[in-house]
Amino acid sequence: MPDVTKTAAATAADAVATPSVEAPAPQGKAEKPRSLWGDAWRDLRRNPYFLVSSVLIFFLLLIAAFPGMFTSASPTAGDLVKHYVGKPELGNIGSPGWLGYDIQGRSVYARLIYGTRASIIVGVCVTLIVTVVGGTMGMIAGYFGGWVDAVLSRLTDVFFGIPFLLGAMVVLQAFVERTVWVVVFALAFLGWTQMARVMRGAVITVKQADYVHAAKALGAGTGRILFRHILPNAMAPVIVVATIALGGYISAEATLSYLGLGLASPTVSWGVDISAGVQAIRTSQHILLYPSIMLSLTVLAFIMLGEAVRNALDPKLR
């Protein structure tokens, strides 16, 4: 008769030694590891500041590109019969007289719409120029170091020591006709120094990384190292600074136009209208009020966007 106890023990030992093989549970594709930009985009989509500022900026870009979609009135055609006539017609939304008329009988609403184009062009173009020029100089100085860094850094310090608005005023005085592109040149001529310093610091940090040393050891050329390894990993702080600075350049253009040193009539600009509205601040405050509100909203939108991008790209804040 077989030993039942011994047989049961052997069976249990076999069960422990050779566990049953189960079919692997179906799994989806392995999640691809996200990069810094992927994590940043995920955070931005959940940030209310980014969503609100993006909507405002998109609306401003739409106005700047297609002003005829929002008003049929001319921003330069005036009728002296309507010289400061009445208060703003707030009930008649979209009409030429919706926000009243200025000293020359021109529609304040039409000038508000068409003035968006000049401010956006100045802000975007100056930001692009200073990012390219300052970023290139900062990247070269930070990567090569030595006497190259010393020369470019001292050149940056010379330009950085010139007050921004004061220097722009001096540059603009050299031109008889101050168009949008002249103002862009004057602001970009002195605005690249901050980008150069930010890029230089980022490149000095990135070039110490192991993947840069590995690329050098494998014989990669200077151009490949700069544009394939260093630049993509050093752009985050530059993008943040450029986004915030864009609103500052729009404000600087309005300041110069207000002082009579920037854009001038017949160019339609918020700064020009704010300057003209000061003359009637006692009797027709709406002429000064609406361009000021539009300018403030535009600058605020870009500053909010820059803050949201900074929080998303900074690993210490996530």
Q: What are phi and psi of 301, to 5 degrees?
A: -60, -45
Q: How many Å from the N-terminal Cα to the C-terminal Cα in the chain?
A: 72
Report d(CA 160, CA 153) in Å as an integer.
10
Residue ranges of the chain whose pLDDT lies below 70: 1-37, 81-96, 314-318
- Which burial class, exposed, middle or buried, applies to 29 when counting CB atoms under 10 A from its CB (0-12, 13-18, 19+)? exposed
Would you list the domain boundaries of the chain? 39-63+115-317
Separation between Cα atoms, residue 270 and residue 112, nearest integer Å: 7
Contact (Cβ atoms closer than 8 angstroms) between residue 298 and residue 247: yes
> Under a CB-based contact definition with an 8 Å cutoff, are residues 95 and 157 in contact?
no
Question: Distance between CA 243 and CA 198 in Å, rounded?
Answer: 13
**pTM for the structure as a whole:** 0.81
CA–CA dist 54, 174 (Å, integer): 37
| β-bridge partners, 53 | none
pLDDT of residue 9: 41
The tens digit of pLDDT for each residue in 175-202 reads: 888 889 999 999 999 999 999 999 999 9
Could you read off the pLDDT of 85-118 as tens digits, one per residue?
A: 556 665 666 666 778 788 788 888 889 999 999 9
- CA–CA separation, 54 vs 182, rounded Å? 29
Task: Specify the CATH superfamily of domain 39-63+115-317.
Answer: MetI-like (1.10.3720.10)
3-state secondary structure of 118: helix
Segment 206-235, tens digit of pLDDT: 888 888 888 888 888 888 888 888 888 888
* Coil, strand or helix at 78: coil
In whole angstroms, what is the distance from residue 60 CA to residue 297 CA?
10
Distance CA 235, CA 225 (A): 14
pLDDT computed for residue 23 by the predictor: 45
